[in-house]
Amino acid sequence: MVRVKRIQAPIIAGLLLLMLILPQSALAAGPEILNVSVTDITETTAEISWTTNTTSDSRVNYGTTTGLGQTKPGASEGTAHNIILTGLTQGTKYYFEVESTDTSGPNTDDNEGEYYSFTTLAPATYTITLAPVCGVCGELIEAGLCDEIIEVTATVAAAGTYHICWDSRAAGSVVGTFTVSGAGIRTLTFFMPEAKKGSHNVYLVDNTYADPATNTFATFTVNPSVKIDLEEGPVGTEVTLNGYGFAASQDIRVTLFQGEVKKGEEKTATANTVGSWEVFYTIPDTPAGGYIFKVEGKEGTVWVNWVSKYFKVIPEITVTPDSGTVGQKINIEGTGFASEEEDIEVTFDGEARKENITADEDGSWSASITVPIRTCGRYDIAASGETTRARNVDPVKFTVIAGISVTPALAYVGDEITVIGGGFAPGEEGVKVTFDGTVVATDIPVDTYGCWESSFALRLSAYGSHTVSASGDTTAAVTTTLDTQAQMIELSPAEGAPGDVVSLTGNGFRGSQDLTVTIGGVAASGDMRTQSNGNVNISFRVPKGSPEGEQTLVVTDEGGATDSTDFTVMKKTLSTTPLPISPKDNRLRSGDVTFNWQGATGSTTYTYTLEINTTAGSGNIWSKSGIAESSYTLTEDEALPKGTYYWRVKVVDDYGNEGAWSDYIEFRVSPIPTWVWVVVGLVVLVVLMVVAYRETKFKVTE
């Protein structure tokens, strides 16, 4: 035992000394530097990277000798460090070390005194590179100049002026020029010239247009392209297609397709010496939708599909004539609708004037309509169909020079109705307006253009269409219609709980019809009808089951006349709270418990909700609602096992309004334990055995 203690003492002392030394050593060491590398070395730049085991800053000390002499810090702290050295000399060897500092101090990695190193790239004598190395001609900025931007990187070995030439070493082929004061690298851009398909040389030449060195050129490949001036339009649209980068003098064919189905005629052209051409194509009668212009070039005896351009045919209507009088027939033609589209409708100023029109297989159709009664002015004629929406068809303006109109055309009793007339005799006298035959405005002045304006308050009238007429001393009566709309005038109150009485008045409904009232989609009960003149004066109760909160109250008669408003359904808490009677703080030997309470009284019909919990306030294990009496006995299936329970009860009225819960009442279910019955059984058995023994003994003795 002594030997063990002697061995343990030095070990423990050593460990304590090590625990004291290691933190100090780590504190002095700074972050651990790992994975030092050099990447992306160019003529004038290099990227130095390394990682540290803690968040730290970064610096690179570098120079052309091991004395270094230059420092570049990193931009931010972290564990991954990347510093790009710039402004370096071409073809030169550089030495460097890296440094990082964290909260414990700095650390430097100088490659164990040897220093890291790299050598920048030496400049080429004369070179030229392009980016990209192929492309297509874009929209022409001007004749002979495309918008494909090509970047040129040129390396030169001496001072002077240099040119970038396209296809030949000549002054007329120059696409870029630069001047340098010594050897170096220059980058510039130019627009690709209009050129035929294939490879084209881009030359780097000196100021005499001679090669400064052997093979100072790069190759650019031109591919065919097509530009289209319009990408959508109606039947009859003239589309211009321009092709660039095709073979010189190549035969071109342009065809319109929908899927694999050819539409219209072919158009042909011949490319010029630089591979460019132009075609004008008129869109034929064809249904709405997407189409493809297939552009083919003839390669020997074979037509090759080089480019496809998308075009969308949109619907259009035309009107003949574009002006007229009230009652005049006008013709409308439509194109670019769906093939054999049905249910096409023509509207005038938003009013349907022609319906159930069917287009032919090319999506074209025609119809005639009568100019409706409107004041003089310009109106939209529009069209839509089963699949063609009105918003996709530009309306056509039509000028009306006769008739009357009413605003609004849908109105409520008491609204101010404006009547505008046009096409009457200039200065005509005796102009009057009638509503359903009753004069509502007289002696209306007419201006020198035969136009006039008047107004009247919409009189009491039932829901639906009514006739408004106007006439003068020389102008026969012209008519239009005005629709009376149903409206609620007053709702009192505007909030309530289920069962509360609400009064409602309104007008503009159909006369002598049954009414339906809903709140939040739940219908109120009761006998509710409109009066013979369309007025409404009814009372009803907020229906049971109405959702709580702000709801929509809707009133509708048998004929569909309807109006709506907001109504807030409140929550009502009944003032009655049942008084629990039994069980109450007692122990029950059976789980078939009978609950009794003092219930509510009055004319209202109430039911009760009973709840049993395992604690006072939580642990609900059983509840039952809709109990009609003031007592309830648990069924055999509902019987409670041994335990302590809490019960409470609340009252609910016919409309679902609830009272407050009663207080929780505690009771216990404690049936006689099984072991008691076992003991009793054993005692009884012993007694029976003793009696039997005694009986047997006595009989034997006798």
d(CA 36, CA 31): 14
Q: For 425-437, what is each residue's pLDDT tens digit?
A: 888 999 999 999 9
Q: For 611-648, what is each residue's pLDDT tens digit?
A: 999 998 887 889 999 999 999 999 988 899 989 999 99
pLDDT (mean) for 557-571: 94
Q: How confident is the model at residue 27 (pLDDT cuts 50, 70, 90)?
A: very low
Q: For 342-377, what is each residue's pLDDT tens digit?
A: 999 999 999 999 999 999 999 999 999 988 877 677
* Side chain identity, residue 668: R
240 neighbors 233 (Cβ within 8 angstroms): no
pLDDT (mean) for 309-319: 96
Q: Which residues pair with 499 in a beta bridge?
A: none
Other CB atoms within a 10 A radius of the CB of residue 480 amount to: 18
* Three-class DSSP category at 339: coil
pLDDT (mean) for 129-155: 84
Neighbouring residues of 581: CB distance < 8 A, sequence distance ≥ 6: 596, 597, 598
Query: 692 or 78, which is more confident?
Result: 78
Q: For 373-390, what is each residue's pLDDT tens digit?
A: 776 778 999 999 999 999
d(CA 311, CA 314): 10
Mean pLDDT of the chain: 88
| Residue 18 confidence (pLDDT) | 44
Q: How confident is the model at residue 310 (pLDDT cuts 50, 70, 90)?
A: very high
Retrieve residue 601's tokens. Answer: 């009284």
Strands 416-422 and 403-407: antiparallel
| Residue 697 confidence (pLDDT) | 62
CA-to-CA separations, 188 to 45, 154, 171, 247, 660, in angstroms, rounded: 20, 8, 18, 28, 86
The answer, yes or no, to whether residue 77 has pLDDT greater than 70, is yes
